[in-house]
Amino acid sequence: MLKRLLSDDFPRSRVLAVLLLAVLLVLALTPFIFPGVKALNVAAKVLVFVLLVASFDLLLGYTGIVSFAHTMFFGIGAYGIAIAMTRMGASWLALATGLGAALLLSFVLALAVGLFSLRVKAIFFAMITLAVASAFQTLASQLSEFTGGEDGLTFKMPELLSPSFEWFEKPWLGVSFDGRLITYYLLFVVVLLALLALLRIVNSPFGRVLQAIRENEFRAEAIGYRVVVFRTTSSVLSALFATLAGALLAIWLRYNGPDTSLSFEIMIDVLLMVVIGGMGTVYGAALGAALFMVAQSYLQDLLRLGSEAATGLPWLAALLSPDRWLLWLGLLFVLSVYYFPAGVVGRLRQAGALRPSRH
């Protein structure tokens, strides 16, 4: 059963298996073991970015395509939900319509970008996607009648997903079963199923061809595979999963704006998560997103504690100031790349492969 679920793609490292299981259990039990609004928000964002990073890794890690338009599809998913819920009201029909329209638009745009741009060299394709993403962000900011402009859109969700909805009158194990909790577990189930689907895709014959194209495009073409078709299909699938991630973010926040889902900073963060976790592996997306989002969310709190503890040493207290959290985050990234050039997953799998030969 487990073999089928994981598409015969096991962690191949005991440490990696333990880490992945720990991430899964922590995300599944966050409402019960980490009380408070912040912990639940961080866990929800981890879920969203795990899916977003995994979808981008399908492009970068498995197919070797460098695209800067990935956040555009992320934003399309978020805006699809936001516009539909604002225009049609807080109903399940509006939710389905917004998601369906977003997926359709992403499909058309990804197909167009793929067919017209994937025939050019890698650097030119990257620049084209950057231009398209920038144009879309500008468009979202200017079409204030539909998108809310720079202020974005705030909307309500169906009653079942509303924070005011109470499933039970009394809390269970100290946790209130309200609409917020139901929304969180909706995100958890959808992301888990999407990751299992991505595992199936990358471990299928289609996924093997993508990896062959990544390693040697000309050889794959010589064998008989139509590289443009496979790369375009990969781009479309990646865009659809990114759109789903954006929709989940909007459902959780009940708000969307240009800086929330279309910012270029998000693209940079996604690149960092892919590199930290390890390119060419769905498991790397899970670990990379979890490590980065937790560090981004709690590093300031840790630095604040360190700064207060080092009050006797002014220079150290200043160095550990919470205002310098980006400096420390950058340092952690540099160290992770230096000590884990193949990412966390790659390093752990290499260690797991070498261990039996020592006996």
What CATH number is associated with residue 208?
A: 1.10.3470
Q: Is residue 240 part of a domain?
A: yes
Q: Is residue 302 part of a domain?
A: yes
- How many Cβ atoms sit within 10 Å of the Cβ of residue 93? 11
- How many Cβ atoms sit within 10 Å of the Cβ of residue 347? 18
How far is the C-alpha of 16 from the C-alpha of 286, rounded, in Å?
11
pLDDT at 118: 64
List pLDDT tens digits, range 8-20.
778 888 888 999 9
Q: Is residue 26 part of a domain?
A: yes
Alpha helices, DSSP H, located in 118-164: 122-142, 144-147
How far is the C-alpha of 275 from the C-alpha of 59, rounded, in Å?
13
Domain of 242, in residue numbers: 7-358
Joined together, the tokens standing for residue 84 give: 């539909």
Q: Is 53 helix (H, G, I), strand (E, B) or coil?
A: helix
pLDDT at 56: 94
Q: Is residue 1 part of a domain?
A: no
pLDDT at 355: 62
pLDDT at 358: 45
Low-confidence ranges of the chain (pLDDT < 70): 1, 117-122, 169, 171-174, 352-359
How far is the C-alpha of 30 from the C-alpha of 36, rounded, in Å?
10
Q: Is residue 16 part of a domain?
A: yes
Report CA-CA distances (Å) from 284 to 54, 239, 242, 310.
Answer: 8, 19, 16, 36
Q: Which of 26, 29, 144 is nearest to 82 (CA)?
A: 144
Sign of CA dihedral 60, 61, 63, 64: positive
Q: Which of 263, 258, 272, 253 is nearest to 326 (CA)?
A: 272
**Which pTM does this prediction carry?**
0.92
Total number of domains in the chain: 1
How far is the C-alpha of 80 from the C-alpha of 239, rounded, in Å?
14
Q: Is residue 313 part of a domain?
A: yes
How far is the C-alpha of 8 from the C-alpha of 137, rounded, in Å?
40
Q: At what angle do helices 264-277 and 37-63 cross, to 10 degrees?
A: 70
Please check whether residue 54 is in contact with residue 198, taking contact to mean a CB–CB distance below 8 angstroms. Answer: yes
List pLDDT tens digits, range 158-204.
988 888 787 776 766 667 778 899 999 999 999 999 999 999 999 99
pLDDT at 123: 75
Q: Is residue 2 part of a domain?
A: no
Residues 6+ apart with CB under 8 A from 239: 55, 70, 73, 106, 107, 109, 110
Q: Is residue 51 part of a domain?
A: yes
